Homo-oligomer: A and B are copies of this chain.
Amino acid sequence: MKKISCLFLLLTISFHLLAQNKDVQAKAKEEILAAETAFCKMAKEKGLEAAFLAFAADDAVICRTTKVYKGKEGIKQFYGKPDKKNDELTWKPSFVSVSDAGDMGYTYGEFDFSGTRAGTTMTDHGVFHTIWKKQKDGSWKFVLD
């Protein structure tokens, strides 16, 4: 009888953990999309440099054409340039996926860019993708953009 009770308990725990995992993944997806929305909102209100600094993990990198800019110093180096101060970038994820334990995930979607270089307004439209990692304090920060 004890053996059957034990088996029943193990099965109950297993099902519970599986169900919990699905909940964790759904919650992680929601949180990533919320972080992405807040990130984009901050970029609009406070500029790209401030927003990228606020949402970057310590080991984050931003990949830009031919170079990987590493960490917050890299972000300052890339977005801190005077000609980028008035750049406008908006984006919206159309897809989100997360790891089994809901601690890592990625998004992709489309972006719109406008900025001025040497007096000329430039616009661009393309595809963005971001990798997110849950931090120790429970917040989501991007690790690659």
Chain A residues touching B, range? 20 to 34
> Are B108 and A63 neighbours in the complex by a CB distance under 8 Å?
yes
Chain B residues within 8 Å of A129, by CB: 63, 144
How many subunits of this chain does the assembly comprise?
Answer: 2
> Are B97 and A127 neighbours in the complex by a CB distance under 8 Å?
no
| The one of B68, B106, B125, B133 that contacts A144, using a Cβ cutoff of 8 Å | B106
Q: Is A126 an interface residue (CB 8 A)?
A: yes
A127 to B127, CA, bound (A): 16
Q: Is A14 an interface residue (CB 8 A)?
A: no
> Are A65 and B99 neighbours in the complex by a CB distance under 8 Å?
no
* Interface 0/1 of A107-145, CB less than 8 Å to B: 010000000000000000111010101000000000110
* Interface, chain A (partner B; CB < 8 A): 59, 61, 63-68, 95, 97-101, 103-106, 108, 125-127, 129, 131, 133, 143-144
Closest A-B pairs by Cβ, 5 of them: A99-B99, A99-B104, A101-B101, A63-B127, A100-B103
